[in-house]
Amino acid sequence: MIQQIAQLLGMYALPIFIAFVVVVLALIFLFWRLFEAHYRRLWEWGSRIRHFITHLPPTQWLRQRYPRIWSFLGRRLLPREYLGLHLMLGLLIIVTMLNFFGEIADSVTESEGIAHFDLALANSMYQNVSATAITIFRGITWLGNPELITVIVVMVGAMLLAGRYWYLLAGWIIIPAGGGLLNTTLKAIFQRNRPELPNPFVVEMSWSFPSGHAMGSLITYGMLAYVLVVFLERRWDRPVIAATVTLVLLIGFSRMYLGVHYFSDVVAGYAAGTAWLTTGITGIETARRYRSHRRSLKPVIPRNSQYYHSR
């Protein structure tokens, strides 16, 4: 059954992928609009839930028995403490993505269902490619090459250095570099061979799991989107997010279409990349907001690049 599904997906891989991208973008903007429309109501619900939890008997016991722990948790669960909420949300995403990556890695290592699906899908896609699509995706996959990623990091880093945006500069350098090191380490740990196809469209010599292009493009272009959202006006947020999501998905799909990665390689690359990118952005936001909090008791709105400028 799994192989039949994989073969069917491989036969119509391109139209299915296009439909998938459209659905993903639609869902992102739908949840975005719902969040903006019900922002205040969500905070009110959160406040009510917090009030209910804080008056439960076990919570009251914790408050009296461990006042320091209560004080720590209380500061991070208060709706007005955005810094703590941001940190908690970041940790939630990180843990979820790491767990997801672990599940994929276990399945690949033990050659379970996902491994059979990978092989069947790779063979089916290879048998149903078109020459025009191969040419297009060779160009798209180049956008995720380490050489181009390095050039982008250097160019944007130079602009941030010239503007003396120290927090962003540190994150911009550490996050892509750390992501590259993490991907190399993971490849060395799992040592999964790439798909073995006759007359491959692209030849790669490194290990396959997780996909370096998928992981690297998500980290670098995701970080670039974060930087642009910080500096640009709010009306540019959605175009930037849409372009970034589309580009990252295209690069990941190109690796499968060209036969140099399995499906699980790309998905695992996205999971690991999301965890690492979230770690970096959470660190930047935490450091920046903590610094701003010490300067002023007023809440900080992350729409002004002056907060990043050294004063």
Residues identified as active-site = 213, 261
277 in Cβ contact with 222 (< 8 Å): yes
269 in Cβ contact with 104 (< 8 Å): no
Give the integer Cα–Cα distance in Å for 190 and 153: 28
122 in Cβ contact with 197 (< 8 Å): yes
Give the integer Cα–Cα distance in Å for 246 and 234: 20
CA angle 225, 228, 234 (to 5 degrees): 105
Q: Which residues contact 113 (CB under 8 A, 6 or more apart)?
A: 2, 107
- Residue 30 has, within 13 A of its CA and on its CB side, a CA count of 6
Give the integer Cα–Cα distance in Å for 159 and 222: 18
Six token digits for residue 127: 């048998």
